[in-house]
Amino acid sequence: MFLAEDIIDEAKTIFGFSKEVKLFRWITDAVELLAQKGEIDPLVGYVDLCVDGSCVTLPREVETVLACNIGGRPAMGHDQLFSFHLNGPGDFGTRCDYTWDDVGTFCTYRDLKCPAKLVAFLDSGADEGTVLRVFGYDDQNRPLRTLVNGVWEDGYRVPTIFGYALPDSDAPMVSRITAIVKKRTSGTIRLSSFDSSTTSGTLLGVFEPDETVPQYRRIRISRAGSWVRIHYRKRSAAVTSINDRILLHSRPALVMALHALKFYRDTDIANGNAFEANATRLLTERESVLAGPAGMPIQVDDRNSISNKSDAWVD
């Protein structure tokens, strides 16, 4: 791993300009070019999560769930189409084994339990007045709309006032949220429902400064447990500053990848392929000394043979 500041000078030399915003886009493209070519995937990670119930909303950086353990037990995964399988449990059936279902992406940590007004908590006074727009439906199942300067626009603008988190008297009762859009901010913004009887509510999301369209992967586990372990593939985060981390193991490989992209930009495919091949070689050689001798074992779910089963796998 290294920082973007360790590669920015080479990028300026290769592409011939010094506009950092554009250089960061090229560096991001080079990282994506190499991310899947080495023996060690830098975008693969693990996370342990405490859970309450059967629906688990995963952290922002999780793009794809590769495997899941429920309370330490391996679980078989299913995609969203499995709910239509004629021999499956559907959406309402219960299972006695350990499985998890990918239920897609959502803009909040959890769904609203009942219609409620929304409030926002700001961590920085510099973000006062920031646009935080929530799309969805009110308690009458009508699309949320806001009157702004005499013009109706889709979505409800949640008030963003530093040090003050109470809904407007005429704020709509929101029953379902389908999307959220916010501007870049200096600090985090917490979105919550508001319960007028207890001055508390449900935490719906904590949005980081660079989040503009929040999206979180969510899975449903067959058995409620206290924790899950997720093996996942990370989102390929864009490089936006010299302090951003680059999760590759070879800086020379990234330099070669930048050269390859420059040739691709100039439609010189032959030289681009040559530099890409060298970038892959450098990355593979570096990672070959870092990877352990153990490989990923083949997973076998043996349910039909008469062989003895280990007691460790029996409930």
The ranges assigned to domains in the chain are 2-40+237-288, 44-107+218-234, 117-214
pLDDT for 7-51, tens place per residue? 999 999 999 888 888 999 999 999 888 887 877 777 788 899 988
pLDDT at 240 over 90: no
Q: Where are the alpha helices (DSSP H) in the chain?
A: 8-15, 20-34, 251-265, 269-288
**Beta-carbon neighbour count of residue 224 at 10 Å?**
12
pLDDT in the model for residue 256: 95
Buried b (16+ CB within 10 A) or exposed e, 49-77: eebeeebbbbebebeebebbbbeebebee
Residue 215: count other Cβ atoms within 10 Å of its Cβ: 14
- pLDDT category at 208 given cuts 50, 70, 90 is very high
- pTM of structure: 0.74
Instruction: Give the tens place of pLDDT for each residue, 131-152.
Output: 999 999 999 999 999 888 888 9
